Structure 1
Amino acid sequence: MDDLKWLTLRHQLHQHPETGFQEIQTSALIAQYLIELGLEVEQNVGKTGVVGVLQGRQPGERLIGLRADMDALPMADQGESAWRSCHPGISHACGHDGHTVMLLAAAEQLAHNPNFAGRVCFIFQPAEEGLAGAKAMIEEGLFERYPCDALYAIHNWPELPVGELRTRSGPIMAAADRFDIRLSGGGGHAAQPHLTADTLLAASELVVALNTLVSRKITPHESALLTVTQIHGGSSHNMIPGEASITGTVRTFTAAARDILEQQVRIKTKQIGESYGLQADIRYHRYYPATCNTPREARLALEAAEQAGLTAQPAEYPALTSEDFSFMLQEKPGAYVWLGSGPSHPLHHPCFDFNDKVIPYGVRWLCAIVHKELGEI
């Protein structure tokens, strides 16, 4: 593997990040690399997604999918590297530039020595960061045209040191929901609160009530989370505003917990709004399902890691962060793995920069999982 070439490309991608469904230059660059490797390539799958297929040295019935996300975040890059983002307000603060490079490097290595029976589908997915690019690719026929028998994906994980890999059977990343609540119908002079419905007091009570739901409505044997992330209202020190809003997120691992918390958020909102004489409106959006690995593929992922020289162990517990690879795992068996990238800044930190030392480990694992699935000739 030409380490310098891949380092240069990773830095180039980091310097020129593109957000979800805007990955025009990134997609074109990926497609050109795959075409030069001799792969069958399709562009614009799910708007800006790219798919490349490599035939092994021998024919085989199985098609294995390897996926990398390639979008950046709408946040400023505060890093100090020479390759920091040159696009204001956009940065690769989650490491998708590294994921893209690892999959391209694996495609090159496998194309130069396709010593397996069957085919590999390299899936470069747009818009993972909240815009459901995986779902868009599926809806545009990804698996009709490329009926993968199993799927695998990597995410760099700063909580683990370089050279370690973790995954688990069952849930590994949480379902993610968003709620937006609007309380309206009050408003008046702050010195005459008895003459108006107090939207801010109602919002404050609702925030406290929402933060009790997990501990009082979900069994202690199950993990779940509800976090209020925004509260807005008012524009003057001497006025009770006519409207207040609350926004937050809910994370769960089972359908039952997800249903309970949505129902309880709606009930609490209605109850408290009515008790203050306010109109209470809520929008509740389930945007990503839980990411659930299948047992066989999780086991193969760990075995491939050991074969590739990584330290591999089952993850003790899933993460409450979310991932839209979940949509693909609803369609096909597969596994999502955490690849150690520490020490580094946390994911989504304004100074985050993908740890380049991770690249060879990721490439070795991706090639190893292909050989675990399709054999080695």
Structure 2
Amino acid sequence: MENNLLIKNIGRIVSGDFDDPIVVGDAILVRDGIIEKVGFFDELPLCNMAIDVRGATVCPGLIDSHVHPVIGDYTPRQRVVDFIASSVHGGVTRMISAGEVHMPGRPTGAVGTKALAIVGSKSWDAYRPGGMKIHGGGLLLQEGLQKQDFLDMYREGVLHLGEVGLGGYHDWERIAMMVEWAKQVGMVVMMHIGGASIPGSDAITAKHALMVGPDIASHLNGGPTAPSIADIEEIVVKTKCALEIIQCGNVAIIPDIIKIAKESDALNRIIIGTDMPSGTGVIPLGMLRTISWISGLCGIAPELAIAMATGNTANVYNISAGKILEGFEADLVIMDSPVGSSADDALDALRIGDTPGISGVIIDGELLVKKSRNTPPARRHLEVINYE
């Protein structure tokens, strides 16, 4: 027996791959934090440790595509501690910063915003509350940034821009040039869409998105104020960018976004985030709740809604996670229908709008959560088996 992990007796395996969302099998073999094999228990070798999930569903760890951290597991926006570690109990294993905008005294000049992005990136590389993986240092564009600055930041680990247009800098021709510089060095570009959020911000429409050309249309359902249906349709039809739906936005417009995306064969472009912490609050179950909205309110198969919160986002950021495939990082969530639900399993729970119960969260092949402190209790609980 090798020092590996075997997850067995899986009821359903959700791949996170939008084009092939269900994996045939009942077991997953993990070696050194990487998924080595997905298949049937009888075909896989014994390991030092096994997790018997007793028929529960296993899916990839959720990737929150839109978070506003600062430094450390604390948000001055709502004066809340441990919200990141708490989100692990909501099945989130990775977060992507949309900009450290809530930093007290946040610098607004070119030198300061560059320094903050580098510090944010390096800080979150070294600090993982609750095991959470955080892509920190989402650069917030400011007047005075030059082409060389983007190369400097990329070399220091700043791999994406936070929300373009967030804050008071709105020289759109110059912003479009900066975005092009960012793309040239390999950065992924988010862009604020919809009404103003923080003081100094302004409403941003499809016209601005077409001018700038982001990789992601952030919070297309509003952050928190939604754009018009006409703007949404123009962004879906006239761009190829990812279409983000968030928890802290306009719920009523989500079915319209899904309908437009479906008619445009663009459902595989939808990604899911929370946009927290914000004035709306801190919501550790925000990802699960948004998945249930998209499935329960919009008629999207739950395995596809999960792919929107995992593999679709991984594709945008070129992350080797978010999918239960051989060679990908073993960030996994074990979940089931909650006690008292009429659903038979986690997917059915999402389909009817319930929040699944999480019985386990695995990050890099290590079982970090045995029973979520935040979700309703799962109907089936896992068993850890150690073999001598």
Into which bin does the TM-score normalised by the smaller protein fall? under 0.3
* The structure with more helix, counted as a fraction of residues: 1
The TM-score normalised by the length of structure 1 is 0.27
| Structure with greater contact order relative to length (CA < 8 Å, sep ≥ 6) | 1
* The structure with more strand, counted as a fraction of residues: 1
Rg bigger for which structure? 1
